[in-house]
């Protein structure tokens, strides 16, 4: 059973560095979501793709954040010039758009720690 896969699982970096995370959704899923989760909170929506089109971005997604899904399959989330406040778990989820909206399935996330 190939679920949503995220890489890396953990990333530790110094403040000011750039980081990139990858998400491979469930193969037939055309919707892909990125969330951020901090300790003690639920996931917060960052951005959403349907196929390769980025359809919505949260105000949480500052100019330092960019997400792509170039071929409508895997996606990358890049954070430039990381700051202490970027430390969080970054979760990816995917779903299948159909006449009955299908629920999202999550990966195990990338935990980012900024030193």
How many angstroms separate the CA atoms of 47 and 58, rounded? 6
3-state secondary structure of 75: strand
Find the shortest distance in angstroms from Cβ 75 to another protein.
15
Question: Which lies closer to another protein via its Cβ, residue 14 or residue 53?
Answer: 53
What is the rounded distance in angstroms from the CA atom of residue 33 to the CA atom of residue 15?
26
Closer CB to another protein, residue 4 or residue 114? 4
Task: Give the shortest CB-6-to-another protein separation in angstroms.
Answer: 8
Residues that bind another protein (CB under 8 A): 4, 6, 31, 33, 35, 40-45, 48, 50, 55-56, 58, 60, 91, 93, 97, 100-101, 103-109, 111
Sign of CA dihedral 29, 104, 36, 113: negative
35 vs 82 by CB, closer to another protein:
35
16 sits in the region (left: phi over 0; alpha: psi -120 to 50; else beta) called: left
Q: Report the residue number, 10 or 15, with the smaller CB distance to another protein.
A: 10
Closest approach of Cβ 30 to another protein, in Å?
12
- Helix/strand/coil for 86: helix
In the complex, the smallest distance separating the C-beta of residue 73 from another protein, rounded to whole angstroms, is 19
In the three-class reduction of DSSP (H, G, I as helix; E, B as strand; rest coil), residue 85 is classed as: helix
């Amino acid at each position: 059973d190939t679920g949503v896969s995220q890489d890396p699982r953990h990333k530790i970096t110094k403040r000011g560095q750039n980081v990139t995370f990858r998400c491979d959704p469930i193969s037939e899923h055309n919707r892909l979501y990125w969330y951020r989760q901090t300790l003690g909170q639920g996931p917060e929506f960052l951005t959403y793709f349907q196929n390769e089109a980025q359809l919505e971005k949260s105000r949480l997604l500052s100019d330092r954040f960019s997400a792509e899904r170039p071929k409508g399959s895997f996606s990358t989330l890049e954070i430039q010039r990381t700051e202490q406040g970027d430390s969080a778990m970054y979760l990816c989820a995917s779903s299948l758009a159909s006449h009955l909206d299908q629920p999202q399935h999550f990966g195990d996330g990338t935990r980012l720690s900024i030193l």
